[in-house]
Structure 1
Amino acid sequence: MTKAAVEVTAPADTVPYSLLDTVFFVVGGVSAVWLTSLLVQWSFEWGWAQVWFFFIFWGLLAYLVLPRLHRILTRLYVPDYFIGRARTSDGLLGDPVNVALLGSAPQVHGVMQSAGWTLADDVTLASSRRIVSSTLLRRSYLEAPVSPLFLFGRQQDFAYQQEVDGTPGKRHHVRFWRCPPGWLLPGGLAVDWLAAGIYDRSVGLSLFTLQITHKIDEYTDVERDHVVGAITGADPAAEVTVIRDFSTGYHARNGGGDTIVTDGDLPIVDLRSTAGAPAGSVPPRSDSQNRRPAPTVVGAVLVGARAAAAALLALSMVLFRGEHVSSLLQPGTGPDITAAQAELAVSIATAVVLLFVVVEFLLAGFVFLGRNWARTVAMALSTAAIGMQAFDVFFGGPDITLRSNLPGLALDILLLLALSSKKSRDYALRPRKEPTTASGRALP
């Protein structure tokens, strides 16, 4: 009897950042700060009375600049091991992990459904739009999505919630993470799941990023006990033991800046004797690494926009060829050249631009498909463009203006921010299944 060799590929979350990825990540953050500073300078010229400008400035600050700065800084000072706290997508310490469970996924789903909790939708464009409209209009949305929090380098496997007052603005909710094989709690105890139960009391602005988010109730132990009580009330076969003082009782803040107060106890709920959810009622386990993330889609669209802008330039060079040739022949625009040389120069420039258009459109397609080499090339082109703009500005060249080079600069900065994000990187580095023959052997 021979042992089969199994190749294990590390998930993207555990792959160290390459030097290039780190450079792109930092350049994106610094460039976003530069873009925001330009808007601040113009605000004094235009006046704050223009409301539309204020919203643009707030959007850049809340959703681009501050998250990227937090992401850079939290890599330096936030521990990358289990300390009883989840983490936000920006790397900030999030909600406390306050429940542990033993049992299978069907058993977890079974007791939560029996207790009257509703499985939350995944975060998509449609679900995000619906929760915003439901919150503003105070309409019920029982399956409203919850924001992703990260543990073990990945976001929650699923979440359950209970709506309060018929609006997603107030709700009980709990996120669940399956523990990695062989993982042990501090102290050596094995569990199958960790969970974070929190009560959303209202909607407001994050203290750290200024983003619109749910504000939580500070007494998280009350919600922890509510979750455990709901489980034991739904199925008496569930057994509960409590590790007293699992963590030191503390007062802190979560990723949105809301106060947290906890006594540090950790209840462990044993579901191994409970009935599992009926077949077909358990959703398939989602693989977030294989789901194309929004930053990758945005990055591909922006690469396509860069190609479209170059295509318009090429079209202009074809339709107004005579004007381009005449501009080269005008005195003072450069060395004296003949009409034939000017014609040749315009032809070469047009061919180069058209080649760039084709390459950029192909690059956009490969970025969309999640090819890491395409993502790297696209970020390198944007970094070079941003670098040349910065060099011109800081060494006496023409300033950045709204009507000239700002749109192109903003496009390159947004592209770099999107493709250097963790979600886009993890998707590009996700393990891929090798094609195999019927016997299970990998194809050459």
Structure 2
Amino acid sequence: MIYNEHVSLIKTPRKLAVRRFYSSKIVATLLDRTFFVFADLASFWLAWLVFREGWATGGWWLVGMFFVTWVIVSYIALPRLHRILTSVYVPDYFIGRTRTADGILCDPVNLAARGSEEQLHKVMDEAGWSLADDITPRSAWKMVMTVLRRKSYPNAPVLPSFLFGCKQDFAYQQEVNGNPSQRHHVRFWRCPKGWLLPSGHQVDWLAAGTYDRSIGVSLFTFQLTHRIDENTDAERDHIIQTVRHNTKSVRITILKNFSSSYRSRHPGGDFVRTDGDLPILELSKVKSQKSTLQQFGIIMDGTIHDRLPKNHETLLKELWSRCPPQILFGCGLIVIVSLFTIGQILLDTANWSEFAREMVTEATVSVESANVIILSTMVLNFAIVIIELALAGVLLRGSNRARIMLLAVASATIITESLSITVGRINMAMAFLFVMIGIHIMVVMLFSSDAARFFTDKRFR
């Protein structure tokens, strides 16, 4: 018995390796959370600096800086703040509401379906609904231009909403009078295998349908967004009516009192209300044919998942085996910063004597000391450029340590450059400094995102 106890206390190399792994995992998690919060605080700090300097300068600078402040707060600072807060108080399980990418409770789940994806696509197409485009730079730009010009865009993209930790698999919409500002739309999510509704019923798809009535400003983030109609039940009934009118084989099963009826806020600030019933589209009798790609066994799924249930870990591993855009864009920003820094070094070299003269006059140091300081600064900046580029290259290969180190370097740069800003009239040098701080904040935002963390997490490598 004593022998067995001594054997159990022996620290074998395997046990030590496991302990070191979990210790490093805990440290990495704490650092991730720290950088996640720091990025949000830094973005608010940058917004304050920009507004303060714009106010001190006045004139058109005030107008421009106010716009920049709005962009920083609305599209960077507040979304990250909501991510932090909603991770604390919003349940991470199914409650009959979708969530925005920021974690805010969004549309009510007011429709379900039983059937294959082909059957669902067929009935929606026959009902006169248009499959929404994925959000890409091209589709987003087209959406903006069509709204401004009041032109039709039948396949306009919809913002991602999340259910089961996943973005919608696809969405359908119907424009109203050719105006992209007003539209019926519905998002569909495939239910996890074996998952049951709280009532014990099994469905293949869940959906959330709402009606966009105009373009407005979000109450929670001040972003430009669609304002929706309060009566989500009317939109749900509209979807059912169009489907049944064009496909007679579709039957409807209604789960009465699936949830309590309620009236609540939508992320845009509008109220939404529902009676709590959940109609189910029964598609078993709908005849459909598999697409050519599926017949040949080719799968082309562009769905991006933010966080998935455990039974989707294999899919998650496959999705993030390729480099996510957050990593690519962040590394691109590092390259841009490096080019700016190299340009600054070359400019300083060309004006070496002038800088040395100013340093001797203002700092009362000798010429030799000024030359040493300038040379040391250039060498240090060049070394930082080399280190950042090397770390970015390693990060592209999936190194979590490189990601953490880049987060640390970017955070240190934000702090040092922010402290060098003084109140006064804005000039080109100060505007350039604001840009550099903003770029480094974006780097911290991108590299502390879930996508970047999943990509470099050793559990999925």
Does TM, scored on the shorter chain, surpass 0.5? yes
Q: Distance in 1 between matches of 2:456 and 2:33?
A: 15
- 1:109–1:277 Cα contact (<8 Å) kept: no
Cα drift, residue 66 of structure 1: 1.5
Alignment of 1:169-208 (within 5 A): 169-208=181-220
Matched, 1:306 2:337: yes
What are the ranges of 5 or more consecutive residues in structure 1 without an aligned counterpart?
Answer: 1-14, 435-444
Q: Distance in 2 between matches of 1:424 and 1:248?
A: 38
Which of 259, 265, 270 is the aligned partner of 1:247?
259
Q: Look up the match of 2:31.
A: 20
Q: Distance in 2 between matches of 1:400 and 1:22?
A: 35
Q: Look up the match of 2:444.
A: 416
Q: Look up the match of 2:49.
A: 38
Cα drift, residue 260 of structure 1: 0.3
Q: Which moved more, 1:319-328 or 1:242-251?
A: 319-328
Matched, 1:285 2:301: yes
SS in 2 for 1:63: helix
Q: Look up the match of 1:210.
A: 222
Letter in 2 for 1:224: R
Alignment of 1:224-239 (within 5 A): 224-239=236-251
SS in 1 for 2:186: strand
SS in 1 for 2:106: strand
SS in 1 for 2:211: strand
Deviations 1:313-345 (A, max 9, x none): 3323544455566677779555x68x5x87777
- 1:251–1:261 Cα contact (<8 Å) kept: yes
Change (3 A) 1:116 1:427: farther
- 2:48–2:69 Cα contact (<8 Å) kept: no
Cα drift, residue 349 of structure 1: 5.0
SS in 2 for 1:18: helix
Change (3 A) 1:66 1:366: same
Which of 252, 264, 269 is the aligned partner of 2:276?
264
Q: Distance in 1 between matches of 2:363 and 2:253?
A: 85
Q: Distance in 2 between matches of 1:384 and 1:132?
A: 37
Give the number of aligned pairs.
Answer: 412
Query: TM (normalized to structure 1)?
Result: 0.82
Q: Look up the match of 2:408.
A: 380
Q: Percent identity?
A: 40
Q: Look up the match of 1:407.
A: 435
Q: Look up the match of 2:121.
A: 109
Q: Distance in 2 between matches of 1:16 and 1:235?
A: 56
SS in 1 for 2:173: strand
Q: Look up the match of 1:156.
A: 168
Q: Kindly report the root-mean-square deviation, in angstroms, between the aligned alpha carbons of the 2 structures.
A: 3.1
Deviations 1:65-95 (A, max 9, x none): 2212211111111111110000001110011
Change (3 A) 1:363 1:16: closer
Letter in 1 for 2:338: A
Query: TM (normalized to structure 2)?
Result: 0.80
SS in 1 for 2:213: strand
Alignment of 1:81-120 (within 5 A): 81-120=93-132
SS in 2 for 1:275: coil
Q: Distance in 1 between matches of 2:393 and 2:287?
A: 47
Q: Look up the match of 1:440.
A: none
Decide which structure has greater helix share: 2
Cα drift, residue 119 of structure 1: 0.8
Alignment of 1:342-357 (within 5 A): 349-357=377-385
Change (3 A) 1:124 1:426: farther
Letter in 1 for 2:117: A
